[in-house]
Structure 1
Amino acid sequence: MVPNGGTWQLRREQTPLSNYTYKSDAVEAGRQIAKANQPSQLIIHKADGTIETEYTYGGDPFPPGG
């Protein structure tokens, strides 16, 4: 989920899915989509484009590799 010219845009990889006026609406929609398409990850950005938080659904290995 990224800022997009005054709106919030949900993307799947780099493909735009939808735009929302309110960030809270975009977060809720993004969480629903991510939960329905596990394993998945929702990355929420701040208005300045930096990452605010990440949610991972299903299949998240612990400890992480690397």
Structure 2
Amino acid sequence: MSTRKKYHVTQKEDGTWQGKAQGGQRASVIADTKKEAMADTIRIAKNKPSSQVIIHKQDGKFQEERTYGGKDPYPPKG
């Protein structure tokens, strides 16, 4: 079973937004807006066999997560 690659979209101290692989040293994406950072990070994640994008609010708290490729361990019902 492969491990899901996780990316976090967060706001940096300078007000820009970043998309960064969990445990990574540097951001994969830096953008002026959250929308741009999300779009670019999701594009990267979709090119991986199994990935997850965790989106944070301005205050750093969890907002939502999106899973791509592989089997989602918690699919929604309905």
**Scaled by the length of structure 2, what TM-score is found?**
0.72
Matched AA of 2:16:
T
- Work out whether 1:14 is the aligned partner of 2:14: no
Unaligned runs of 5+ in 1: none
Unaligned runs of 5+ in 2: 1-8
- Note the aligned Cα RMSD (angstroms): 1.4
Say which structure is richer in helix: 1
Count of matched residue positions in the alignment of Structure 1 and Structure 2: 63
1:53 aligned counterpart, secondary structure: strand
1:25 aligned counterpart, secondary structure: helix
Say which structure is richer in strand: 1
Fraction of identical pairs, as percent: 40
1:56 aligned counterpart, secondary structure: strand
4+ runs deviating over 6 angstroms: none
1:20-31 map, 5 Å: 20-31=31-42
